[in-house]
Structure 1
Amino acid sequence: MSISLKQLKVFVSIAQEKTITGAADKLFLSKAAVSMALSELEKQLGHKLFDRSNNRLMINEQGKRLLPVADEMLSRSHTIEKMFDQEGPVSGRLRIGSSDTVGIQVTPFLLQDFREHSGHTEQSMFISNTAEICRKLSEFELDIGLVEGQIRQNDLMMLPWLQDEMVIACPPEHPLTQLEHLTFADLEHSEWILREQGSGTRDFFLNHVASHLRDWHQVLELNKTEAILNCVAAGIGVTCISDYAIAHAVKDGRVAALSLPVEIKRQYWLIYHKEKYRSPLMETFIHFSQAWEMPDYQ
């Protein structure tokens, strides 16, 4: 049996794109070439790797067994290709996923310091909510995730990372700003602007704030932090948000930040697939991240 790297690239791309057309576009190959490579691979292995349904290819159990091994082989191959192109102890490309707050407010500073420390500059960053980051890690589309949401997937490894403090954001002239000590009773009947389903910030509000309220109303659901802050500044409602995310708006005088009635630190997580090959680059990034502290840039 002689399985080629091309066949593995085709297999992984189909697993991620779920169509022959999508894989062909991603690999700059013809659909015929992609179909042939997959057929040859399945023939060599003696197993189908995908279930066909409505022109989509959904990876089956045999394919799921192969995916982490194929990903490792391609990663090792890429490491070999880059080994002599870059000076320093690490080489290759690192695909990082960050949830919204982390990706906008924290990860850029982490990458800046990592680049200075390691000399490595080939990183890509994808920003979305925690649920989408987890999905891409499960399908080996990303190498590492940096998120603030709760993780409920058994296939992902979770390492505690940073912590932040959650606050209530409201307009500077809001009646809540006149209170000396905010209580949950003061938040009753409030109108809230929340992040979308799958967001770690939304999960925090539901678990740690809404659970203490008898009567609250969602007036808007938005998937961008800056949009939420602008709506808060416009007086549409209040929100629960990270102090990292709100610092610039408070400094500009657009919104006010109020401490929650109870001090609850929110945990950030560094996550990756349990079967993901931890290359020297990935190991270096994990160790650096765990020792790293957020600079005082505010």
Structure 2
Amino acid sequence: MIDFKLLTFITVAKTKNFTKAADILNITQPGVSQHIKALEEYYKVKLFNKKGKQMELTSEGTLLFNHAEEVNRMSKLIKYELHNKSSIFNRYYVGATLTIGGYVLPKLIGRYRKKHENTDIILYVENTESIIKRLYNGDIYLGVIEGPFNKSKVNYEKLRDDELVLAVSYLHPFASKESVTIEEVLKNKLILREKGSGTRKVFENKLINSGYSLKDMNIYMEIGDITALISLVESNLGCTIISKEAIKASVNANTIKIIPIKNFDIIREFNFVYLDESQYDFINDFIGFCKGDN
């Protein structure tokens, strides 16, 4: 178990505020101050500088924060590993981005569990940024993500490719066309995923690499929920760029139509990501199963 004073320090470093940290940790603000003071006395360094209403880490504080985060992550992983060692049922924590977690991974997990009846997989479904944070925090063993990430900081393995497409209602003006240009798309009412999502980031990167500015986009709505986004498009409130996987049911039901964008294919990867091999047997087995069953 991580020292509570270090947990207090991590919380202050993230919130940059003693009062907010106290609320999160359910302790008093003087208690937070005492914990930080005790750490500064123990390490004989100043950990924070006050800038306005915010607490900013010193260079020494930043160093301690990086080490404390790793200690916290390892503490969680050890707890999970000891639980699995002493339990009949093994429990593993996996994170997936919204497209993968909503439309790809559930069926794979279901089939995996049929082969491993004593295994429980707890699935977190969030956007790419949140899944990466969970991985660094030690909340999950393995992530499956759809957006760009720093490949120098994690171990990764490709699951497969995915295509982003232009989706519209059959009542949309684009529906009568065989294809459209990216310029036409950018001028239309765009309903996009929220910032931080893998889908949004891949689309934005493609635009920038093709010489367009993000200011060229006519963003009508930003939606964090894929189901809601699809419903808005089906209701002809705008068009969207979305994974082909996410709209299979709508395409089959003839409520959404895919319109090709001339000379503007958007291909991305679904990748497994993990930090270490402390749970190598599970990670290796699950990745192998998913790739073989894919």
Residue by residue, what CA displacement relative to the aligned partner does 1:167-197 show, whole Å, maximum 9, x if unpaired? Answer: 22111244544445x3537946751322233
Whether the 8 Å CA contact 1:169–1:255 is kept in 2: the answer is yes
Per the TM alignment, residue 105 of structure 1 is displaced from its structure 2 partner at its CA by 1.9
1:279 aligns with 2:278: yes
Partner of 1:45: 43
Distance (Å, rounded) in 2 between the aligned partners of 1:12 and 1:57:
12
Tell which deviates more after alignment, 231-240 or 212-221. Answer: 212-221
Q: Residue 184 in 1 paired to residue 181 in 2? A: yes
Asked whether the equivalents of residues 193 and 228 of structure 1 are also in contact (C-alpha less than 8 Å), the reply is yes
**Does the CA contact (< 8 Å) of 2:13 and 2:65 recur in 1?**
no
Q: Which runs of 5+ in 2 are unaligned?
A: none
Tell me what 2:222 maps to.
Answer: 222
Deviation, 1:155, is: 3.6
Structure 1 residues 293, 161: CA separation in 2 closer, same or farther (over 3 Å shift)?
Answer: closer
Q: Note closer, same or farther for the CA distance 1:231–1:79 as it changes in structure 2 (3 Å cut).
A: closer
C-alpha separation between the residues in 2 aligned to 1:54 and 1:139? Answer: 28
Higher helix share: 2
Give the partner amino acid of 1:103.
G
Q: Distance in 1 between matches of 2:33 and 2:112?
A: 40
Q: 1:57-80 deviations in whole A, cap 9, x for unaligned? A: 555322234124412541354146
Q: Who is 1:288 aligned against? A: 286
In the TM superposition, 1:1-298 aligns within 5 A as 5-24=3-22, 26-27=24-25, 29=27, 31=29, 33-53=31-51, 56-59=54-57, 60-75=61-76, 77-79=78-80, 81-83=82-84, 85-87=86-88, 90=90, 94=93, 96-116=94-114, 117=116, 119-121=118-120, 123-128=122-127, 130-138=128-136, 143-152=141-150, 155-180=153-178, 182=179, 184=181, 187=184, 190-191=187-188, 192-208=190-206, 211=210, 217-223=217-223, 224-261=225-262, 264-272=266-274, 276=275, 278-280=277-279, 284-285=282-283, 287-293=285-291
Alignment root-mean-square deviation, CA: 4.0
How many Å apart are 1:216 and its aligned residue? 6.6
- TM-score, normalization by structure 2: 0.73
Distance 1:23 1:126 in 2: 26
Partners in 2 of 1:157 and 1:84 — Cα distance?
A: 25
| Superposed CA offset, 1:241-289 (max 9, x none) | 11111122223332112344455532122234xxx55432x66235413
Q: What secondary structure, in the 3-state scheme, does the structure 2 residue paired with 1:292 have?
A: helix
Letter in 2 for 1:267: E
Aligned residues: 285
Query: Against the structure 1 CA distance between its residues 97 and 19, is the aligned structure 2 distance closer, same or farther, given a 3 Å change threshold?
Result: farther
Letter aligned with residue 145 of structure 2: V
Q: Does the aligned pair in 2 maintain the 1:219–1:237 contact within 8 Å?
A: no
Q: 1:157 to 1:188 in 2, by over 3 A?
A: same
> Does structure 1 retain, via aligned residues, the 8 Å contact 2:50–2:56?
yes
